[in-house]
Structure formats: C-alpha cells, structure tokens
Amino acid sequence: MKGASRFLNTLSGRIVIVCSAALLITFSATFYVFERAHERLLFQQVESQARILFKQIVLTRRWIADHGGIFVEKLPWVKKNPFLKEPEITDMTGRRLIKENPAYVTRQLSEYSKKEGLYWFHITSLRLVNPSNKPDAFERRALLRFEKEGLEELSTIEKRGRNRLYRYIAPLYVEPSCLECHRDYRIGDVRGAISVTIPVDALFSDISRNRLTLAAVALSVSILLLSFLYLSLKSLVIRPITRLRETMEGYQKGEPLDPGKPVTEELAGLYSTFSGLIETISRYHDSLEDEVRKATEELRSTNQKLLEVSRQYRELSARKSDFISSISHELRTPLTSIKGSISYIEQRLRTMNRECAQSCDIEDIISFMEIISSNADRLARMVSETLDLEKIESGRMEIHLELIHLDRLIREVTLEIVPLLEDKKLALKTSIEENLSVRADEDRISQVLLNLLNNAIQHSPENEEITIEAYMTGDWVAVRIIDRGPGVPAEIQERIFERFYRERKGGTGLGLAISKGIIEAHGGEIGVISSPGDRGSIFYFKIPAYREGGEHATDSVSR
C-alpha cells in the first residue's frame, strides 16, 4: 500500500492516472456505441427474417386461395377439416382426397416448423371461426391497434421461462379470393393476423459474447497504450528530471555542476536556465555580505533615531498631560470663584429688586447674570470633563473597585434627576432586578448613569417617558436607558462616543466619550441601538457581574 501511495504521488503516477481515466471514458463510449449498433443490426436481421416468413406464408395462402384450395391424399394421419362443406372426394382410381383451405395448410406448416425448433406462426382473429385461432394477449393488443390505428406491423421481445422469443405480427386483409368463405367482410378489411415467433436465445448469447470480446480487446489495448506511455515518460521525461534534481542537490552539497547530456531540447533549456541562475547567484553572493553590512548599519542608525524620537514624544506627551492637568486645576479655582461671585451678585440683585419694588427695574441685569452663571457652569463642567478624558486617554485615571449593588445605585441616581424630569414633564419608568452585584467604582458608574440620563432627558420631547432597565445576562450586568426622542442616525452611531462630537447644540460633547472610557476601564461595553424609522434610542452598557469566591471586594487600579 505504501509503494502504491508513493507511485500515485509521483509525476508519472499522476500522468498514468489521468491517461487511464481518459482511455476508460473513450473506450467505454466507443464500446457502448459499437455494442448498441451491433445489437440493432442483429435485431434488424431477425425482424427481416420474420417479415420474409410472414410474406412467404401470405403468398402460400394466396396461392391456395386462388386455386380454390388443394386436395391431398387421405393418409392415416390426415384429418378432415370440419369447417368445410365437402372436405373429402374420391378420384377415378378410388383414392380418397381431403380438401384443405389456406388456414388449415398454414396451421399444419406452423406445426412442422415448431417441431424443428426453428420458428412457428399462428393465424388469429378477433372474430373466430376455429377456436384454435384464439389470440393471446400480445396478438389481441396488436389486432385492436391494427383496426383502430391502422398499424401495418408490430414486434416485441417476450420471455417464457428461460427462453426469450422475438414475436412479429402483421394484419391479413380481405382479398377477392377470401369472399367465398368470408362473405360478411369487405375487400380491404382486417380479417385477422399472422404472428411469427422466432427463438432468440442464440442471438442474446452472441450479443453477450460480443460484449465480452469488445471488453477484452479494450482492456488489452488500454494496457498496451498505458505501458507504452509509462515507458516513454520514464525514458524521455522522468529520468532527465530526476538527473536534474540530483544535480541540484549535489550543487547544494558543494559538488561541481555536471548535469550530463539532456535528452530533449526543452530539458536542455532548463539545464541552461539553471546554470545561468547559479552564475547569477554566485555573482550576487560576493557582494551580498557588504550590502547586508551596510543595511545593518543603516538600520541600527535609524533605530537609534526612532528611539530618540520616541523618547522625545513620551516626554512631550507627559508635558502635555501635566500642562492640561495644571491648566485644568488652575482654571477650576477662578471658575469656582466666578461662579460663587455671580451667585452672590445674583442673590443681592434679587434682594434689591424686591426692595426697590416699582422704582427699580433690574430684571434685565438678573437675566444676563443667569446667562453668565449658566456659561460659567458649562465652562467648569467642560474643564472637569476634559481633565477626566485626558486621564482616561493617558491611562492615568484611577478606578477604585469595590463591591456595590448596582440596583440601589441606579435608584439613588434617579432621585438626582427628578427636577430635570419635572422641568420637561417627563415620566420615568424603571424595571430593575434585585441584587445586581458588581465590582466597580461607584462614583464613576454614577457619572456614567447621570451622563446617559441627562442625554436622554435632553433629547426627549415633553410629556414623554424614559425607561431604565437593569438585569443579569449571563456573566454580565446590563443597563438600558430608553428614550422616545428622534433617534440616532446609523451613520453617526459610532461617532457620538468621540470627544467633542455633538449632534445638537448644548453640552460639552465629552459626556459620552467619558462614559465610554469609564465602562471600558471596567472591562465592559457601551453602545447605542437606534433603527431607521423607529422612534427613540436605547443607550446601554454592561459590566462583569460579581461572583462570590472571586477577587477581593475592594481594589484600586489605574486604567
């Protein structure tokens, strides 16, 4: 089996397989065509023989009918025809003669031929005079088709026991000489038919022998052709290629290049190409070491420059982060002072407005102070969020992990947004499972919840509903915030989590980016679901659920 497998994996083996398949298909098709043609020829011969026998019988019957029947001597085995009026006469010498009509003669001839085993025939009709002429199933079908369809002949192959028979049948038409006995017919009517039966077992035996002969010849020719092809390939192709391979392997081991004399022009070209390749490799090999050395030096120098650039970039990035942190810290103090001062002035103005009553009108000043206060709040929030985002992107944001119950945290956060809900006349619906335990930074998760809820409130029309859902799903705790706003177009669903991206005016454009950074720092996932044509959006996030026997309940990490 191993030897056969190795042979099939070689070039010669594969060529032999392909050629064998081609020969098999070709000889099979040729064998089938010749065998079918030979079979048709043999059956045409049998059909011609049956047709000739039928015509001979018809001619014999016509001759007897034209002569008014024939008389034969009354021998001991000769019987009278019971269907004739005067079946017997005596001649002048006293011999007794029996009259026989065409049908009776036909039947006796059939009995003679059947005894010899050559063939036999049978007169039959649908309108019987002699019961022995009763048709069998094949003859009845043929007689009906002769009368209804006007067929002139019909044939088939039947199998009786182990014997196969060729059966041929053709109609008998009423002629003038027939009217003497068959007066209820007209000339040209179908009187009956004669069926000819010929044994064809020998014919089928010849067909089988012919098939075996053709198969044997095809197999012999295929073996001879494949043998010749294999020997030719081995001599003209396989051996030169093997010699070339051995030459290449020897050159690899340091032996001199001596392929010998090629057998064909194509292989000579292959040897020449290989020799040229070796010479080219030799030439390049001499200068390759210098080129490699130069390339190595250049690579080392480039690497040193890259290291220096990388160091400078890290220093610049650190300085940038320190600068942003410092400037954010410095901005917070004056902003807080400004906000407190504005609040104090606003309160004093309101007091003065009440004291002045009708004589003073400082409502416009109070309105401007409210605008200044709102923008100061927004600026302070932007500074705080910028600082948070910078810590997230630089990997310096600290996450203080502890065991918290997210269901309780959500309920606490919802209390903080009640005034915002009342301003827009929004309803809040919750569906929160109990005991949703996670290891997370409570302040950061609260920040995410407030960002998402504020976003939902901002984009919800008045008198609508916001839904908060929280539940376990596998090893995760999922939170979904559903609004009835205009939805988020598919082309911007990824961009809304980028820094400073705002779909509408208002806000800093940092809330969703910060939320994304916080959730990812917890090893979770955040996203939005909003389909075209649907009203509203679903902002969701999920973080790993806490399992007993896991990590410690409190930890501090830098993300």
Neighbouring-strand partners of residue 198: 166
pLDDT tens across the length of the chain (559 residues):
555 566 556 666 677 777 777 877 887 788 778 778 877 887 888 888 888 888 888 778 778 777 767 777 666 666 666 666 666 766 677 777 776 767 677 777 777 777 776 778 888 888 777 777 788 888 889 888 888 888 888 888 888 888 888 889 988 887 665 555 555 556 667 778 888 888 888 778 888 888 788 788 878 887 888 788 777 777 777 777 777 777 767 666 666 655 555 555 656 666 677 677 777 777 776 677 777 778 888 888 888 888 887 777 666 666 556 556 555 555 566 666 666 767 777 676 777 666 665 555 566 666 666 666 666 666 666 666 666 666 666 666 678 889 999 999 999 999 988 988 998 899 999 999 999 999 999 988 998 999 999 989 988 999 999 999 999 999 999 999 999 888 888 788 778 887 656 554 445 567 788 888 889 989 999 999 987 767 789 999 999 998 876 544 445 555 5
Match 């407030």 to its residue by tokens. Answer: 450
How high is the pLDDT of residue 22? 80
Name, in order, each residue with C-beta under 8 angstroms of 375's C-beta and a sequence gap of 6 or more: none
Distance from C-alpha of 36 to C-alpha of 467, rounded to nearest angstrom: 82
How high is the pLDDT of residue 554? 45
The CATH number fitting domain 398-558, selected from 3.40.640.10, 1.10.287.110, 3.60.9.10, 3.30.565.10: 3.30.565.10
**In a 10 Å sphere around its CB, with 0-12 CB exposed, 13-18 middle and 19+ buried, how is residue 281 labelled?**
exposed
Tally of CA atoms within 13 A in the half-sphere of 557 that contains its CB: 14
Tally of CA atoms within 13 A in the half-sphere of 69 that contains its CB: 18
For the residues of 113-163, what is the DSSP string, one character each?
HHHHTS-EEEEE-SS-SSGGG---HHHHHHHHHHHHH--S-EEEEEEETTE
- Secondary structure, 3-state, 235-259: HHHHHHHHHHHHHHHHHHCCCCCCC
How high is the pLDDT of residue 109? 74
Distance from C-alpha of 246 to C-alpha of 240, rounded to nearest angstrom: 10
How high is the pLDDT of residue 402? 92
- The one-letter code for the residue type at 249 is E
Distance from C-alpha of 497 to C-alpha of 519, rounded to nearest angstrom: 12
How high is the pLDDT of residue 386? 64
Distance from C-alpha of 477 to C-alpha of 436, rounded to nearest angstrom: 7
How far CA 374 is from CA of 368, 377, 451, 459, 492, in Å, comes to: 10, 5, 18, 19, 28
